Amino acid sequence: MKAVRYVQAGQPPEVVDLPTPTPAPGEVLLRVAGAGVCHSDLHVLDHPLFPGPFTLGHENAGHVAALGDGVTGWKEGDAVAVYGPWGCGRCHTCQTSAENYCEQHASLPSLGGGLGSDGGMAEYMIVPSPRLLVPLGRLDPAAAAPLSDAALTPYHAIKAALRWLTPGADVVVIGIGGLGHMAVQILKALTPARLIAGDIDDEKLAHARALGADHTVNTRDSKRAVEEIRGLVGARGAAVALDFVGAQPTIDLCARIVGRASRLTIVGLGGGTLNYAANKPPYGCEVSVPYWGSRTELMEVIALAEAGRIKADVETFPLEQAVDVYQRLREGRIHGRAVLVP
């Protein structure tokens, strides 16, 4: 089968032929329908985070192809999303379904498929346990793959911020790419807050408006962007800022536009640092650094999509074009989410 492999940091991925894997006892073989192309993969490709080689793709959905010995409750052909952050499955936190915060994370063999273990940018993928499968109902698995990260990650961040997102509150979303375009939809589906979207790319801002953002601000000139956002939110400041970039200028911008007793959530892994001084961020601001989401939250995301309340804007490409697709993502030339389809 064809697979997109991480080889070594600093090198582009390679598309190679591999034998189709066989599920060991307790495992499930997935026939991949789609694997989302996440900006985190660029961090994985650029930095020596995991020893290679392994197959990329941590945002996966498809159909059950075969069950390893002892696996029950699923049958060939079932449409599923793969829950991506693979925890130990046994600790207290994993038992609450929040494997994204597994207590044993430091001693796990990898963070998940595509993040140290073989992932979904291939025709088939091994899922180590059926507990990591979430039924997709009548959703098309290729189109639904981004729900497992591009939607789950902002959903988890937004759910934890709901008590701030009341009528009359302002929420600022920075970075309207794969995660951000889902965040806009999730905020519109779940909250009455007024939504201000920021990006450095006017096309992404037009996308945000099409998805329901109330205001958009180009943040290329951060000083002007801070003034513009402050003009919109007034003395109260933004109740919530969600940073899907996490670079120094976006973290600084978010810290300057949130109000007192607000919430500042940094999701992006853009290498920035949050500076602290008295009243900066303002007093009462809660800072959050969420990672991915829980299994039950993935079920909630899928339910939102099944209800037609959110939908990933997907550009599909064949696996063979992976290297080019990563380059397009790096250059900001992907609209919504790219999905590789074997």
Three-class secondary structure of residue 7 per DSSP: coil
Contact 86, 143 (CB under 8 A): no
- What residues from 148 to 207 belong to the interface with Zn ion (CB under 5 A)? 149
Nearer to ligand NAD, 70 or 332 (CB): 332
- What residues from 199 to 238 belong to the interface with ligand NAD (CB under 6 A)? 199-201, 204, 219
> Each residue of 277-289: b (16+ CB within 10 Å) or e?
eeeebbeebeeee
Q: How large is the angle between the packed helices 178-190 and 152-159, nearest 10 degrees?
A: 40
Residue 332 Cβ, how far from Zn ion at the closest point, in Å?
17
- Choose, by CB under 5 A, the member of 29, 33, 37, 38 that binds Zn ion: 38
By CB under 5 A, how many residues form the interface with Zn ion?
9
Residue with tokens 């499955």, as numbered in its chain: 89
Contact 243, 265 (CB under 8 A): yes
Residue 290 Cβ, how far from ligand NAD at the closest point, in Å?
6
Residue 44 Cβ, how far from ligand NAD at the closest point, in Å?
9
- What residues from 164 to 183 belong to the interface with ligand NAD (CB under 6 A)? 174-180
**Nearby residues of 239 by Cβ (< 8 Å), 6 or more positions away:** 164, 165, 166, 169, 170, 171, 193, 258, 259, 262, 263
Nearer to ligand NAD, 49 or 247 (CB): 247
Taken in order 69, 72, 78, 82, the sign of the CA dihedral is negative
CA-wise closest residue to 75 among 24, 128, 125, 135: 135
Residue 94 found at the interface with Zn ion (CB under 5 A): yes
By CB under 6 A, how many residues form the interface with ligand NAD?
34
Residue with tokens 């969420």, as numbered in its chain: 290
Nearer to Zn ion, 38 or 226 (CB): 38
- Choose, by CB under 6 A, the member of 246, 272, 281, 342 that binds ligand NAD: 246
Is the peptide bond between 128 and the residue preceding it cis, with omega within 30 degrees of 0?
A: no
- What residues from 313 to 342 belong to the interface with ligand NAD (CB under 6 A)? 329, 332, 334
Residue 218 Cβ, how far from ligand NAD at the closest point, in Å?
9
Residue 287 found at the interface with ligand NAD (CB under 6 A): no
Residue 261 found at the interface with Zn ion (CB under 5 A): no
Nearer to ligand NAD, 64 or 305 (CB): 305
Separation between Cα atoms, residue 287 and residue 200, nearest integer Å: 24
Contact 187, 238 (CB under 8 A): no
108 binds, among Zn ion, ligand NAD, none (CB under 5 to 8 A by kind): none
Nearer to Zn ion, 179 or 187 (CB): 179
- Choose, by CB under 6 A, the member of 50, 74, 291, 317 that binds ligand NAD: 291
Residue 237 Cβ, how far from ligand NAD at the closest point, in Å?
19
**Nearby residues of 275 by Cβ (< 8 Å), 6 or more positions away:** 252, 255
Residue 11 Cβ, how far from Zn ion at the closest point, in Å?
20
Distances (CA, A) of 121 to 58, 232, 277: 8, 43, 44
Residue 113 Cβ, how far from Zn ion at the closest point, in Å?
11
Is the peptide bond between 281 and the residue preceding it cis, with omega within 30 degrees of 0?
A: yes
Residue 154 Cβ, how far from ligand NAD at the closest point, in Å?
9
Write out the residues near Zn ion by the rule CB under 5 A.
38, 40, 87-88, 91, 94, 102, 104, 149
Note the residues at the interface with ligand NAD (CB under 6 A): 38-40, 43, 149, 153, 174-180, 198-201, 204, 219, 244-247, 249-250, 267-270, 291-292, 329, 332, 334
